[in-house]
Amino acid sequence: MEPALTQIGLQMSQRTGVRAIMKDIIETLRAEAGREFINLSAGNPVILPEIEQLWRDCTAQLLASPEYGEVVCRYGSSQGYGPLIEAIARDFNQRYGLNLSDRHILITPGSQALYFYAANAFGGYAASGQLKQTVLPLSPDYTGYGGVSLAPEALVAYKPTLEKDEQAHRFKYRPDFSQLQITEQTGCIIFSRPCNPTGNVLSDEEAQKIAALAAPYDVPVLIDSAYAPPFPALNFTTMTPQFGSNLLHCLSLSKAGLPGERIGIAIGDPQLIEVLECFQTNACIHSPRYGQAIAAKAIASGQLARLAQTVIRPHYQHKFEVLETTLDEAMPDSIPWFLHRGEGAIFAWLWFENLPATDWDFYQELKKVGVIVVPGASFFPGLREDWPHKQQCIRISLTATPAEIAEGMKRLAAVARSVFQR
Ligand SMILES: Cc1ncc(COP(=O)(O)O)c(C=O)c1O
């Protein structure tokens, strides 16, 4: 059967960004089933034994408590499960000296849903017919933003400035405030901090500056904190979560070991929260409550924040160090390679200036030596202008073992050498 699809139907039934590449990766792995690949493409977090145990323990407590029936056998409020909202308010008030009430918090089925609600509640066509933009102030950024807007023309990203350390072969993106336009045409702003794919962390000042530029227009700024403290605390550099009247602090429990349970959390002004809550009621009524109930226990006991710092962060930070050291040893100095400063998240981002091939060709060459990465071009959603840099980067996941990462980087160095010698 071939149903006639609407414009939105067509658009939403496409695989966008990295999903399209994942299809190629899955097909490669299937077609060459006997071959051992070093897979450095995965976005799925590693199952860490201490974290799995935490979720098991919380589940056992839930099963043993009279709360169980109330949690799974009944509908609840669209805003989220009460004990989870309370646990978050208490934790954040204590930790950051805030004064949050339950009205400041919304639980969504994963944080991706949150960006979808926001991009369509604040971005898109206004009643006046004006197109309100969803602005990504620093491209590259999370590929998932590429599919969130029902009016794709509303998604607008800005090229960054590059801070390069030629000798050390390192670089860092910074927002280009000379280009960034936040006006009455802006509907909302989204950026990830720490950033997937680059591992960049916008400084507190940069985040505050973006919020200040948006404030006069009452534009909500969503700081995607999927990798931020207090959990999963995947920041390798100091950073302070930012709060403010036009800021929505958006968390995800996916990288804290619960991606299967789909838990996103928005913290911000009750008026913004209410808009998103109503959107959610229309979309799916509410998030599943089992995951919320175990998350309430892990947050209220302080265990999640503690394990994030003592287990999750060191696990990935160590792997970044392995990657960095191996590249420094194996890469020829004569090649213009630049590793993005590893400030957080679970990825490394590598840029080859003047790469004499595309990122896609480079990805194919790496497959030939048994290494799978993600070509970088899919991480520039909303950036329409031509920019050679878009085809010069790759994303390397830190979810493989340290030995695989080291071996993968050695093979990558050999491929880079041969590509630059062509
Ligand atoms: C930066 C960023 N934001 C949001 C998400 C979506 O996370 P979830 O919907 O699982 O909360 C991801 C997932 O990888 C991510 O990397």
- Our answer on whether the CB atom of 291 is closer than 6 Å to any ligand 1 atom is no
DSSP code per residue over 110-165: SHHHHHHHHHHHTSEE-TTSPEEEEEESSSS--GGGGG--SSGGGEEE---EEEEE
The two beta strands, 337-340 and 170-174, are: parallel
Does residue 357 contact residue 375 with C-beta atoms inside 8 Å? no
Distance 76 CA to ligand 1 centre (A): 24
Helix (H) / strand (E) element for 351: namely: strand 347-352
Distance 128 CA to ligand 1 centre (A): 32
Mutational pocket test of ligand 1: of 19, 22, 111, 138, the residue with most ligand atoms within 8 Å of the beta carbon: 111
Which of 8-22, 82-96, 229-243 bottoms out in mean pLDDT, i.e. has the lowest?
Answer: 8-22
- Our answer on whether the CB atom of 144 is closer than 6 Å to any ligand 1 atom is yes
- Our answer on whether the CB atom of 287 is closer than 6 Å to any ligand 1 atom is no
DSSP code per residue over 205-266: HHHHHHHHHHGGGT--EEEE-TT-TTTT--BSS-------TTEEEEEESGGGT-GGG--EEE
- Our answer on whether the CB atom of 45 is closer than 6 Å to any ligand 1 atom is no
Distance 186 CA to ligand 1 centre (A): 23
Give all strands of the β-sheet with 337-340 in edge-to-edge order: 161-165, 170-174, 337-340, 347-352, 393-397, 374-375
- Our answer on whether the CB atom of 196 is closer than 6 Å to any ligand 1 atom is yes
Distance CA 384, CA 386 (A): 7
pLDDT of 374: 95
- Our answer on whether the CB atom of 143 is closer than 6 Å to any ligand 1 atom is no
Distance 73 CA to ligand 1 centre (A): 28
DSSP code per residue over 16-57: -THHHHHHHHHHHHHHTTTS--EE----SPP--HHHHHHHHH
Whether the pLDDT of residue 418 is over 90: the answer is yes
- Our answer on whether the CB atom of 198 is closer than 6 Å to any ligand 1 atom is no
Q: Give 315-349 pLDDT, tens digit per residue.
A: 999 999 999 999 999 999 999 999 999 999 999 99
- Res. 42 pLDDT band, cuts 50 70 90: confident
C-beta atoms surrounding 325 within 10 Å: 12
Mean pLDDT of the chain: 96
Identify the bridge partners of residue 374 per DSSP, sorted by sequence position: 395
Does residue 131 contact residue 154 with C-beta atoms inside 8 Å? yes
Q: Give 254-269 pLDDT, tens digit per residue.
A: 999 999 999 999 999 9
Does residue 110 contact residue 153 with C-beta atoms inside 8 Å? no
pLDDT of 29: 83
pLDDT of 35: 85
Whether the pLDDT of residue 166 is over 90: the answer is yes
- Our answer on whether the CB atom of 140 is closer than 6 Å to any ligand 1 atom is no
